[in-house]
């Protein structure tokens, strides 16, 4: 499972990876869904058994808090800014609900729907769409919010978050980043603290079960109304079960959704493993494999969508090959006619070469 030496940095513990991830196929589809590590799968099985037998579930709520703390460390933000939920769209909706009538929201062409659709549903907002590479220069006086994915789902292009942060600060706008295709390999800790809001599902590059998502709220918590808040949003949740919540949590927990406990039991263990392996080492591994694939594509006469610094490689015109590759046991995605390959910590040089051999054939 060696990688090329083009990306220097911490070395991934491949022995630990082999012990925890056991793909049965040539799995190159993390951008759709990551593989669950053994330790997370075991924890979920144990929790299901306990629930089936009527055992106590208090420890499952502890898992939520441990997962929250782990994501905060990965994102490089105080744990008090992190809320737990199940969907990016819910948190986009939370932000959309906070905007005043007539506010301008700036988004990128082809952006993932969960990142932007709630802004469109509010008919009284002005949503302006521009090319991704023109996003920062398109922030202008009167722009209230920029909403963008750190890495684009369709083709892996990476947003210039530093430029966006400068542009939004210069124009007194807020920055909302969807890290769903980034958290786990991207240097999120360099950017999350500077964004006003960050959302991320955890079932992709963080290799958690589906049903766990995280939201980094603003430093000024009062600027968002917790319109989806229930009993878990209370400062004392178990005292907030009946009637209106009289005291909201004094942290971003006021934005929590009622947790899917089994998802967070798995997430706790998945995130601990991501921390143990190290996002920097994962990033170096992933990018080396993606670059190897890009080099191989060039030799075959194919040109992917330019996405430097991304482990997602999208090849125009080859989406029609997805079904045949599936029959060969190679898992990828067809996105708008593009063949999308995504390389993650459990992938190998042999996986890359097998895909290139199949495309040659």
Dmax (CA) of the chain? 66
Beginning with the edge strand found earlier in the chain, give each strand of the sheet holding 338-342 in spatial order. Answer: 312-315, 338-342, 333-335
Same domain, 239 and 102: yes
Same domain, 162 and 215: yes
Give the C-alpha separation, 1 to 324, whole Å: 25
Dihedrals phi, psi of 255, to nearest 5 degrees: -100, 10
Same domain, 22 and 152: no
pLDDT band (50, 70, 90) for residue 3: very low
pLDDT at 348 over 80: yes
Structure tokens at 53: 């037998």
Percent pLDDT > 70 in the chain is: 98
What pLDDT is recorded for position 55? 86
Q: Are strands 338-342 and 312-315 parallel, antiparallel or unpaired?
A: antiparallel
For residue 225, the 8-state DSSP code is: -
Tell me which residue of 77, 224, 244 sits closest to 145, measured CA to CA: 224
Give the C-alpha separation, 6 to 312, whole Å: 17
Same domain, 74 and 162: yes
What pLDDT is recorded for position 5? 40
Range of the domain at 193: 46-276
Structure tokens at 219: 């430093």
Structure tokens at 220: 């000024």
Residue finishing a domain among 276, 309, 340? 276
Same domain, 255 and 318: no
Same domain, 90 and 126: yes
Same domain, 71 and 110: yes
Same domain, 95 and 242: yes
- DSSP 3-state of 157: coil
pLDDT at 237 over 70: yes
Residue finishing a domain among 247, 276, 305? 276
pLDDT band (50, 70, 90) for residue 136: very high
What are the residue ranges of helices labelled H in the chain?
A: 14-20, 38-52, 58-75, 88-98, 113-121, 135-138, 161-170, 261-277, 279-300, 322-327, 349-360
State the total domains in the chain: 2
pLDDT, average across residues 321-328:
97
pLDDT digits (tens, 9 = 90+) for 60-81: 999 999 999 999 999 999 999 9
Domain CATH code at residue 64: 3.40.640.10
Residue finishing a domain among 276, 309, 327? 276
Residue 5 lies in a domain: no
Tell me which residue of 76, 81, 60 sits closest to 269, measured CA to CA: 60
Residue 41 lies in a domain: no
- DSSP-assigned beta bridge partners for residue 104: 126, 143
Structure tokens at 326: 């599936």
- Kindly report the pTM of this predicted structure: 0.95
What pLDDT is recorded for position 244? 93
pLDDT, average across residues 124-133:
98
Tell me which residue of 158, 153, 154, 104 sits closest to 132, measured CA to CA: 158
pLDDT at 315 over 70: yes
Structure tokens at 56: 């106590």
Tell me which residue of 153, 191, 171, 155 sits closest to 106, measured CA to CA: 171
- DSSP-assigned beta bridge partners for residue 330: 26
Same domain, 125 and 168: yes
Supply the angle between the helices 349-360 and 279-300 in degrees, to the nearest 10.
20
């Amino acid at each position: 499972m060696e990688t090329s030496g083009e990306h220097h940095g911490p070395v991934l513990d491949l022995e630990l990876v082999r012990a925890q991830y056991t793909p049965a196929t040539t799995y190159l589809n993390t951008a759709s869904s990551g593989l669950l590590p053994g330790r997370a799968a075991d924890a979920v099985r144990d929790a299901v058994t306990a629930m089936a037998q009527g055992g106590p579930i208090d420890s499952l709520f502890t898992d939520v808090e441990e997962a929250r703390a782990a994501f905060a460390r990965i994102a490089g933000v105080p744990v008090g800014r992190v809320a737990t939920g199940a969907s990016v769209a819910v948190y986009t909706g939370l932000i959309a609900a906070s905007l005043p009538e007539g506010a301008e929201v700036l988004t990128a062409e082809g952006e993932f729907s969960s990142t932007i659709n709630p802004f469109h549903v509010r008919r009284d907002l002005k949503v302006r769409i521009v090319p991704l590479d023109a996003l920062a220069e398109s922030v202008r006086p009167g722009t209230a919010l920029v909403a963008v994915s750190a890495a684009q789902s369709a083709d892996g292009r990476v947003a210039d978050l530093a430029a966006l942060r400068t542009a939004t600060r210069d124009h007194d706008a807020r920055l909302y980043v969807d890290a769903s295709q980034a958290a786990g390999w991207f240097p999120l800790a360099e950017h999350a603290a500077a964004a006003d809001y960050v959302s991320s599902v955890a079932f992709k590059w963080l290799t958690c079960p589906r049903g766990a998502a995280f939201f980094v709220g603003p430093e000024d918590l009062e600027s968002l109304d917790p319109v989806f808040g229930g009993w878990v949003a209370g400062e004392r949740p178990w005292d907030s079960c009946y009637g209106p919540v009289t005291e909201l949590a004094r942290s971003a927990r006021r934005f929590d959704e009622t947790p899917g406990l089994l998802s967070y039991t798995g997430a706790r263990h998945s995130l601990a493993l991501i921390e143990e392996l190290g996002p920097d080492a994962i990033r170096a591994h992933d990018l080396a494999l993606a670059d190897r694939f890009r080099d191989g594509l060039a030799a075959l006469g194919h040109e992917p969508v330019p996405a430097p610094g991304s482990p997602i490689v999208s090849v125009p015109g080859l989406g029609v090959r997805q079904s045949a590759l599936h029959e060969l046991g190679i898992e990828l995605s067809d996105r708008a006619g593009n063949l999308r390959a995504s390389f993650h910590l459990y992938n190998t040089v042999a996986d890359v070469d097998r895909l290139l051999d199949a495309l040659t054939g």
